[in-house]
Amino acid sequence: MKLPYRVGDSFLLPVGDGSTVEAAIVAHEHHVVDIAVSDLVLRVSDRALVLHRWKRVVIPSVGAQRHSRGTDVPMNDAWISPAHAERIVATHLDIAQLELPPLRVHNRWKPVVAPGYLRIAQRGATFDPRTLSPQIEALDLSGVALSSLKFPATLRALRLAWIATPVDLHELANVPLQALHLEELRELRGVDALARLTSLRQLEMLGFWQLGLDDAMPLVAQRNLVRVEIDIGGRRKNVELYKRATWAYPWPFELFTRGATLRDAPLVRSD
């Protein structure tokens, strides 16, 4: 298979605040590329390039001078994911501080509570969001049934995974969410409402084979969205979507479980 890039190609790497930095390919192997960004050289999976998530800006001629491989990246170095590469670059350039908090082991059968953060993973249980504290900022629900979709106005980050009841996104219209993660929902309604959530900076929609390209395409034009991952099933649909988008990969949802991270999350630049 012919690779969609060559050594010496340059591309724009999004860094999660709406801006991009220029990077160059300095070497590549099968499904792995070495990229130079600023004074960094990173060995990365080529998935972002194949999906055109990283936009090419220069295609050198056949006789163009080839970049030399960075001497500090041995051939046997393990590669990292494109999402990890974007976070490294964003932190290195002081665009964002993306230090992950220490790993916490969550009890699957009991709610985990931290200041401003609640996580519940209890398959078969029914949960009513109207019982939440008015100080809640981040909520992670997995496997539960919801008796209501009325969430507190203080909520900034929401994750809904394998929810057993229908989810209508129109009911989130008055919640100023900055991050929304939706995964494998039995019945999802009101996808068009996402285009009206102007506070939203990060969106993840995973495992939605029932959606068509037309359902997700309006999100491409949303200037407020800067970190997005959408899987609407089928390589053709996903590739066509990302060819038109300039999003960075999402930051881990765990980053939004701290109030300081939510308040300091960078917005889209005005320039």
- DSSP category for residue 202: E
Q: Give the three-class secondary structure for 206.
A: strand
The whole-number pLDDT of residue 3 equals 67
* Closest C-alpha to 137, from 253, 259, 250, 254: 259
Q: Give the three-class secondary structure for 99.
A: coil
Phi first, then psi, for residue 137 (nearest 5°) are -120, -30
Structural domains of the chain in order of their starting residue, each with its CATH number: 10-92 (no CATH), 112-264 (3.80.10)
- pLDDT digits (tens), the chain, 271 positions: 456 788 999 999 999 988 999 999 999 988 899 999 989 999 999 999 888 889 888 655 443 344 444 444 444 568 999 999 999 999 898 887 665 444 343 444 455 555 578 888 888 899 999 998 888 888 999 999 999 999 999 999 999 999 999 999 999 988 999 999 999 997 899 999 998 899 999 999 999 888 888 988 999 988 899 999 998 877 788 888 888 888 999 988 877 665 434 444 333 322 3
The whole-number pLDDT of residue 145 equals 94
The whole-number pLDDT of residue 106 equals 42
The whole-number pLDDT of residue 62 equals 40
The whole-number pLDDT of residue 58 equals 63
Q: How far is CA 182 from CA 71, 133, 167, 252, in A?
A: 42, 22, 10, 13
The whole-number pLDDT of residue 96 equals 73
The whole-number pLDDT of residue 209 equals 86
